Amino acid sequence: MGLLSSRTFRQIATGALTGIEERREEMKDRIDTYREKAVTKKNEIQKKYNAYYDEEKNNMQTFKNVSTAIGENYTGQLNSFVMSGGDLNALAQLDSNSIVDKLSTQKVDEGQGQYLDKVSEDIKLKREELNQNLQDQVGLFKGTSSLFTRDIEERGIKDIQTTVGEIDARKPLDTKFSAGKSVEKTSLNNTDIANITKGFDDLYYKEIPNTDGEYKYDMEDPKVMEIFNRAKILQENAELQGVDINDITARAEILYSQQYDWYKGDNLQYLTPQPPKAIEVTTIVEDFEENLNAETDLSELQTYIDKVTPLNKFVGEMLQNKLNQEKAEREGRTTPDDGVTVEDALPTTDNVGARPDNPVKGRRWDNKYAGKYDPDTGDKLPEKKKKKVVPRMEQNR
């Protein structure tokens, strides 16, 4: 094989260099084209992210709006409702009372986390996902160079990455939020009662074995005993105040207050630690009644009231009224609230009734009528005429 002439070698070398230069220029053009495609791709991904961001921002605001409408007492139920897949936007179309009714059966699951925090985290994950997609698109350009264009490719990829960058995360959404004061719920409606008692009945209202479909509550279960006992206390105290509460409503009040600690219904005012006829309560009342007389110091009577009030405030109020009346009578007033003395307010009738045999009532009769009315008949005694005193000078005439 012969040697190449110098001219031929120069021609070959020049052709090779020309080919390399052409490939390098081509690589530069490809980089410019790919940069434009990458920027276009970023804009598409940014639009996709913006749509997701706006949707989640609206969901977060809807959650806040609903929570504000119903108040902080129901935020737990609302959170669990949404975290369990409930339709937040449909809920937002209801009025506040309807929303409360809708959420009244929703059990709070604190293990689910907070909805607002979840939205914020979902947005972050979506941004990371789309950024990775964008970088993957840029990375497709890698490996398309030859030995003579690799340096251009490497510089080009860095330039494209700098130009494209990452999608705009936009303003972080505020997850801090206070719902404010809740809608006041002072009583249970029929739906509340039905829903709260159903869960209780499902657990404790059981079929009696060997019967034709008869049911009864498991009264040996501590939970059942607690609910029934507290409901009975509520009913008995209400009855003392002239209020009638049926069995189902009474149990519902207790169950609802246990499930929702924010509930302060009007009927719950009748709930006390002990019923009015509890042995401890009635013992104190009997001691008070036995000592309610003119000889017993008022401070001693007050001690009985102080003992019974923590057990049953209604019995305590009843005894306090009696003590106030006793005090008024000892001070010569007709009632605890006026300044009229017994003397001024004696009845105008000629008969007030015979003196009672009961020691306590007898002493009260004495305080009012002794010396003015006959204790045996109650008739008004004739007024004693004052003896006219004759001056000594007239006596000596």
Question: End of a domain among 230, 250, 270?
Answer: 270
Predicted local confidence at residue 318, as pLDDT: 92
Structural domain contains residue 283: yes
Higher pLDDT pick, 256 / 392: 256
Structural domain contains residue 153: yes
For the segment 265-291, what is each residue's pLDDT rounded down to a tens digit? Answer: 899 999 999 999 999 999 999 999 988
Residues 89 and 58 placed together within one structural domain of the fold: yes
Instruction: Give 183's pLDDT tier (boundaries 50, 70, 90).
Output: low
Question: End of a domain among 219, 245, 270?
Answer: 270
Structural domain contains residue 355: yes
Predicted local confidence at residue 349, as pLDDT: 60
Residues 212 and 80 placed together within one structural domain of the fold: no
Higher pLDDT pick, 329 / 284: 284
Residues 224 and 158 placed together within one structural domain of the fold: no
Structural domain contains residue 238: yes
Higher pLDDT pick, 2 / 187: 187
Predicted local confidence at residue 292, as pLDDT: 84
Question: End of a domain among 216, 237, 270?
Answer: 270
Q: How far apart are CA 77 and CA 83, in angstroms?
A: 10
Residues 119 and 22 placed together within one structural domain of the fold: yes
Q: How far apart are CA 312 and CA 277, in angstroms?
A: 10
Mean pLDDT of 65-94: 89
Instruction: Give 345's pLDDT tier (boundaries 50, 70, 90).
Output: very low
For the segment 312-323, what is each residue's pLDDT rounded down to a tens digit? Answer: 999 999 999 998
Residues 228 and 298 placed together within one structural domain of the fold: no
Contact 255, 176 (CB under 8 A): no
Residues 24 and 78 placed together within one structural domain of the fold: yes
Residues 28 and 132 placed together within one structural domain of the fold: yes
Structural domain contains residue 390: no
DSSP 3-state of 373? strand
Q: How far is CA 125 from CA 119, 135, 193, in A?
A: 10, 15, 43
Residues 55 and 80 placed together within one structural domain of the fold: yes
Mean pLDDT of 4-14: 49
Predicted local confidence at residue 9, as pLDDT: 47
Predicted local confidence at residue 56, as pLDDT: 93
Predicted local confidence at residue 392, as pLDDT: 46
Residues in the chain: 397
Average pLDDT for the chain? 80
Higher pLDDT pick, 379 / 81: 81
Greatest mean pLDDT range, 91-95, 231-235, 332-336: 231-235
Residues 11 and 160 placed together within one structural domain of the fold: yes
Predicted local confidence at residue 152, as pLDDT: 64
Residues 197 and 289 placed together within one structural domain of the fold: no
In the predicted structure, residue 233 carries a pLDDT above the cut 90:
yes
Predicted local confidence at residue 22, as pLDDT: 67
Closest by CA to 88, choosing from 55, 51, 63, 123, is 63
Residue type, 197: T
Structural domain contains residue 387: no
Residue 146's CB is within 10 A of a number of other CB atoms, namely 12
Residues 196 and 138 placed together within one structural domain of the fold: no
Residue type, 272: T
The domain containing residue 296 runs over which residues? 279-369
For the segment 34-77, what is each residue's pLDDT rounded down to a tens digit? Answer: 777 778 888 888 999 999 999 999 999 999 999 888 888 888 88
Structural domain contains residue 66: yes
Instruction: Give 80's pLDDT tier (boundaries 50, 70, 90).
Output: very high
Predicted local confidence at residue 348, as pLDDT: 52
Mean pLDDT of 220-232: 93
Residue 301 burial class via C-beta count within 10 angstroms: exposed 0-12, middle 13-18, buried 19 and up: buried
Q: How far apart are CA 282 and CA 349, in angstroms?
A: 37
Q: How far apart are CA 205 and CA 203, in angstroms?
A: 6
Residues 40 and 111 placed together within one structural domain of the fold: yes
Instruction: Give 250's pLDDT tier (boundaries 50, 70, 90).
Output: very high
Q: How far is CA 190 from CA 114, 240, 249, 252, 257, in A?
A: 31, 25, 9, 10, 16
For the segment 374-385, what is each residue's pLDDT rounded down to a tens digit? Answer: 888 888 887 765
Contact 88, 116 (CB under 8 A): no
Predicted local confidence at residue 102, as pLDDT: 84
Angle at which helices 6-70 and 115-139 cross, to 10°: 170
Structural domain contains residue 172: no
Higher pLDDT pick, 3 / 327: 327
Number of domains within the chain? 3
Predicted local confidence at residue 386, as pLDDT: 47
